Amino acid sequence: MNTIQTITIWAIPVLFAITLHEVAHGWVAKKFGDTTAQSLGRLSLNPLKHIDPVGTILVPIVLIVVTGYAFGWAKPVPVNFNQLRNPKKDMVWVAAAGPFANVLMTMLWSIILVTAISSAGSENKYAEFFVLMSMAGIFINLVLMVLNLLPIPPLDGGRVLSGLVPNNISALLSKIEPYGLFILLGLMFMGLLNKLVFTPSILILFFIMSFLGILPQEYIPYLEKLLGQAS
What is the structure's pLDDT at 219? 78
What is the structure's pLDDT at 55? 78
Condensed to tens digits (0 to 9), the pLDDT of residues 142-161 reads 999 999 999 999 999 999 99
> By C-alpha distance, which of 181, 182, 184, 188 is closest to 66?
188
Tell me which residues are annotated as active site.
22
What is the structure's pLDDT at 150? 96
pLDDT per position in the chain (231 positions), as tens?
Answer: 666 777 788 888 888 999 999 999 999 999 999 999 999 999 999 988 888 888 778 877 776 566 555 566 788 899 999 999 999 999 999 999 999 999 999 999 999 999 888 887 656 677 888 988 999 899 999 999 999 999 999 999 999 999 999 999 999 999 999 999 899 889 988 889 889 998 999 899 999 998 888 877 777 888 887 776 555
Condensed to tens digits (0 to 9), the pLDDT of residues 90-121 reads 999 999 999 999 999 999 999 999 988 888 76
What is the structure's pLDDT at 48? 87
Q: Say what angle helices 127-148 and 216-230 make with each other, to 10 degrees.
A: 70
Q: Name the phi and psi angles at 36, rounded to 5.
A: -55, -50
